[in-house]
Amino acid sequence: MHEMSVAHEICRMVAERLGRDALADVVEVGVVVGDEAGIVADNLEFCLEALLSAPPFAGARPSIERCAGPALRLSYLEVEDGSPETAGAGAAA
C-alpha cells in the first residue's frame, strides 16, 4: 500500500522536527492532500491512525485537509506542552 509508506515518511518528519522524546506529546498531525497527489486520502488517514496510535506516539490523531491540485504536505503539529492554559487542548507547533 503506497499510502503506508507516505504515512511512515510523515511520522519520520514529525520525529525529525520534534525529537524522539517529544513524540508522546503529539496530539494531532495535520496533512494537506491534493486530489491530484496520487494518494487516497482515506487510506492515508487509516495508515496514520495506525502509526500514531502506537509507540513512540501516544494516540495522536491525523487531520487530513483535502484540496485541489497536487499538494501533499505536513501542515501542522499540535503538541501538548503541559502548561495549565493548554491542558487538554495542546499547542500548535
Q: Would 87 be classed as within a structural domain?
A: no
Asked if 32 contacts 65 with a C-beta cutoff of 8 angstroms, the reply is yes
Q: Would 91 be classed as within a structural domain?
A: no
Q: What is the pLDDT of residue 89?
A: 45
Domain span including residue 29: 2-80
Q: Would 93 be classed as within a structural domain?
A: no
Q: Would 89 be classed as within a structural domain?
A: no
Point out the residues of the chain with pLDDT beneath 50.
86-93
Asked if 57 contacts 26 with a C-beta cutoff of 8 angstroms, the reply is yes
Q: What is the pLDDT of residues 24-46, one digit of tens each?
A: 999 999 999 999 999 999 999 99
Instruction: Render the burial of 55-87: b for 16+ CB within 10 Å, e for the rest.
Output: eebeebbbebeeeeeebbeeeebbbbeeeeeee
Q: Would 88 be classed as within a structural domain?
A: no
Q: What is the pLDDT of residue 82?
A: 73
pTM of full prediction above 0.75: yes
Work out how many domains the chain is built from and give that number. 1
Q: What is the pLDDT of residue 81?
A: 81
